[in-house]
Chain A
Amino acid sequence: MDTEKVIEKLKERFGSDIIEINTRNNKRSVVTIHPGSLLKVAEYMYKEAGLRFIIASAIHTKRGFEIHYHFSYDEIGLVLNIHVILNSENPKIESLSNMFNASNWIEREMHELFGINFLNHPNQEKLISEGNWAEGVYPYRKEFK
C-alpha cells in the first residue's frame, strides 16, 4: 500500500471528521481532524491499519493548543500526523492511553507542560516535575517567560 491509498482510505472512512489534509510528499502527511473524532481515528490507525504511535507534539499558537499525534507506517516509511486544534480556554481531549500504553507518559507530560486535560487518562499525574513546580503554571505556554 502506498501513501496515496492510505490517505484515500482515511478520507473514505472519516470524510466528515477530517477538516484538512496536507500531504507534503509520499513520506509525510498532516491530517487535521475534529478533536471529538480523535478516539475513532486513532483506533482505526492503531488496531486496523497497524500504525505505530511515535509520540505527540503539542504547540501553543494563536489558534489555541495544537496537538500533532505522530503515527508511523513503517512498511512504507510514512509519518502520518493526526492534527487537532483545541481552544485556548480549558483545553481538553480524550486520552489514548486506554488503547495503548505508548501514549501514557506523553499525555502526562503535555498535561504538565501545557495544561491540556486528557479525559479518562488512567493516571494523569505529573511526569517530570512532581513536587518541585508550582501548580497551574505551565512553562511551555507562550505567555510563560
Chain B
Amino acid sequence: MRNNMTKKFFIPIGPYHPLQEEPELFKLYCEGEIVKDIKWETGYNHRGIEKLAESKTYDQVFFLVERVCGICSTSHPFAFANAVEEICNVEITDRAKYIRSIIGELERIHSHLLWVGLAGHFLGYNTVFMWAWKYREPILDLFEIITGNRNSYAMFKVGGVRRDIENSKIETIKKVLDECRRKTNLLTGAVMDDPVIHARTKGVGTLTKQDIIDYAAVGPTARASGVAIDVRKDDPYAAYPLVNWKVITSDTGDVFAKAEVRLLEMFESISIIEQCLDKLKTEKEGDIAVKVKEIPEGIGTGRAEAPRGEVFHCVFSDGSNSPARHKIRAPSYVNIATFKKSCIGQSISDATISLAAVDPCYCCTERLAAVYSAGSGEKLYNARELIELSADRTAKLRNTQKI
C-alpha cells in the first residue's frame, strides 16, 4: 500500500441508472487516499425533455415535466405552472394555492427523510436508514389518499389543481403529521446528539459563502453556508406568503450543517401544511381552478423551491398551444458543480458523504462503480467496498470514542 501513496488513482463514481433524474459520472483523481481533482460527465441518458416540450400542448407538458425527477416530482409542474400563469396573468384561487403548498411541503418532508436515511447508510448507520425510510412511508400513503398516487401526483394544471382535498380528509392528514413530527423529533435528536456523526460530518465537505456565490448554488446547500435564499420567501408564490414560517440557515457549510438545515426544515414544512389545512376549512370546497382560455405570446419565468433548491422554468410562448421554447434548470445542475470545492482535499472515505451532502439523485451515489489504480489498471475497491470503507471509518471512531 505504501507504493500506492505516491500513485495517482482514478475513481469513477457512476455513470448512470435509467431511473435517476440526473445520470452522471464523477471521476475522482486521487493520490493515496486524498482526492486531488474531480471531473464530471453526464448525458448518458439525455431525454431531450426541453425539445420534447415544444411538441406538447401546455396541458401535456405538466405530465412531461413531472417526469424530470422521480423524487421531487411536483416541483417541476409547480415552476412550470408559475411560468405559464405569469404569461397569461392568472391569479389562482386561494384554495388551489393552499393545496399546491400542501403538496409541495409533503414532498419536501419525504425527500428530506429519504436523504437523512441515505446519508446514514453512507456513514454506516443502517439503523438511521431504516428508521428514516419507515417514517417516510406514511407520507407517501398520504399522497395516495390525497392524489391517488404515491409518486407523480398529477395535481397541477394551468389555473389551479386537478383534485381537491376534501375537508373530511383534513383530520386524517393532521394525525399523520402529528406522528411525523414526533418521529422527526426523535430522528433529529438521534442525529444531532451523536458524537460519531459529529466527528464524521463536521468540517467535512465544507463550502464557504464565496463558493456558493461563485457556483450560484441553491437550496439547503446554500442555506447551510449562511446564504439565506429561499424562493418561497424571496419571490413568494402559492400559499407561502399567507402562512407563518421561517427560512432555516446554518453557517458552517459542512455536511453536518446541511443535515441540520434539512432536519429543521421538516418541522417548518409540517407547520406550513398544518396552517394550510386550517385555512382550507375556511375556503369553499371544490373552488380549485380558474378557466384559462388561451396562452398569449410572451415570456414566463417560473420558480419553485424544490427540496434540493430553486427549480427554474423559462417558457417562451408564441401564442400557439405549445411552448416555442422551454428551458428547465433543476437545482442539482448548479449544486453538483460545487463538488469541485467540497471533495478536493478530502479522503476517499469522506468523498461518498461529501458527494451525497448536496443531495444529488441517489442512484448515482449508490452506483459507485469501482476504484482503479491509474498505473496498473488494477481494481482496488468496488462500490460496496467504498461504502464499507466509509462505514469502517465510523466504526473506528466509535471505538476510539468508546461509544
Instruction: Determine whether the beta carbon of A70 is less than 8 Å from that of B42.
Output: no
Instruction: Determine whether the beta carbon of B48 is less than 8 Å from that of A68.
Output: no
With A54-B312, A55-B312, A140-B51 as known contacts, state yes or no: A101 contacts B234, CB within 8 Å. no
Choose among B236, B303, B325, B337 the residue that contacts A105 (Cβ–Cβ < 8 A).
B337
A77 and B235 alpha carbons, distance in the complex (Å): 4
Instruction: Determine whether the beta carbon of B46 is less than 8 Å from that of A57.
Output: no
With A54-B329, A104-B337, A105-B333 as known contacts, state yes or no: A74 contacts B229, CB within 8 Å. yes
Instruction: Determine whether the beta carbon of B229 is less than 8 Å from that of A52.
Output: yes
Query: Is B43 an interface position by the 8 A CB rule?
Result: yes
A80 and B324 alpha carbons, distance in the complex (Å): 21
Choose among A79, A126, A127, A130 the residue that contacts B301 (Cβ–Cβ < 8 A).
A79
Which of B308-367 touch A at CB < 8 Å? 310, 312, 314, 316, 324-325, 327, 329, 333-334, 337
Instruction: Determine whether the beta carbon of A101 is less than 8 Å from that of B214.
Output: yes
| A30 cross-chain contacts in B, Cβ below 8 A | 299
Give min CB distance, A114 to chain B, whole Å: 11
| B303 cross-chain contacts in A, Cβ below 8 A | 79
Choose among B50, B299, B310, B337 the residue that contacts A81 (Cβ–Cβ < 8 A).
B299
Give min CB distance, B67 to chain A, whole Å: 18
Query: Is A27 an interface position by the 8 A CB rule?
Result: yes
Instruction: Determine whether the beta carbon of B48 is less than 8 Å from that of A70.
Output: no
Query: Is B86 an interface position by the 8 A CB rule?
Result: yes
Instruction: Determine whether the beta carbon of B86 is less than 8 Å from that of A55.
Output: no
| B236 cross-chain contacts in A, Cβ below 8 A | 77
Choose among B41, B333, B334 the residue that contacts A130 (Cβ–Cβ < 8 A).
B41
| B216 cross-chain contacts in A, Cβ below 8 A | 52-54, 100, 102
Q: How many residues of A contact B (CB 8 A)?
A: 35
Instruction: Determine whether the beta carbon of A27 is less than 8 Å from that of B316.
Output: no
Instruction: Determine whether the beta carbon of A139 is less than 8 Å from that of B48.
Output: yes
| Chain A, Cβ-Cβ closest to B211 | A101
Query: Is A41 an interface position by the 8 A CB rule?
Result: no
Instruction: Determine whether the beta carbon of B314 is less than 8 Å from that of A68.
Output: yes
Give min CB distance, B46 to chain A, whole Å: 5
Query: Is B292 an interface position by the 8 A CB rule?
Result: no
Interface of B is mostly: mixed
Query: Is A89 an interface position by the 8 A CB rule?
Result: no
Give min CB distance, B211 to chain A, whole Å: 9
Instruction: Determine whether the beta carbon of B327 is less than 8 Å from that of A55.
Output: yes
Choose among A59, A106, A139 the residue that contacts B316 (Cβ–Cβ < 8 A).
A59
A138 and B225 alpha carbons, distance in the complex (Å): 39
A61 and B316 alpha carbons, distance in the complex (Å): 11
Determine which residue in B46, B86, B314 has the highest number of CB atoms from chain A within 10 A of its CB, and name it. B314
A108 and B301 alpha carbons, distance in the complex (Å): 22
Contact string against B for A residues 89-114, beta-carbon threshold 8 Å, 1 for contact and 0 otherwise: 00000000000111011100000000
| A78 cross-chain contacts in B, Cβ below 8 A | 235
A5 and B86 alpha carbons, distance in the complex (Å): 22
Which of B42-94 touch A at CB < 8 Å? 42-43, 46, 48, 50-51, 86
Q: Which 7 A-B residue pairs are closest in the complex by CB-CB distance?
A: A128-B43, A77-B235, A102-B216, A57-B327, A55-B329, A59-B325, A57-B314
B-side interface residues toward A, CB under 8 Å?
41-43, 46, 48, 50-51, 86, 213-216, 229, 231, 234-236, 298-299, 301, 303, 310, 312, 314, 316, 324-325, 327, 329, 333-334, 337
Enumerate 27 A-B pairs (CB-CB under 8 Å) in ascending A order. A30-B299, A52-B213, A52-B216, A53-B216, A54-B310, A55-B314, A55-B329, A59-B316, A59-B324, A68-B299, A68-B314, A75-B234, A77-B231, A77-B234, A77-B236, A81-B301, A100-B214, A100-B215, A101-B214, A101-B215, A102-B214, A102-B216, A102-B334, A105-B337, A106-B333, A129-B46, A140-B51
A-side interface residues toward B, CB under 8 Å?
24, 27-28, 30, 52-55, 57, 59, 61, 68, 70, 72, 74-79, 81, 100-102, 104-106, 126-130, 132, 139-140
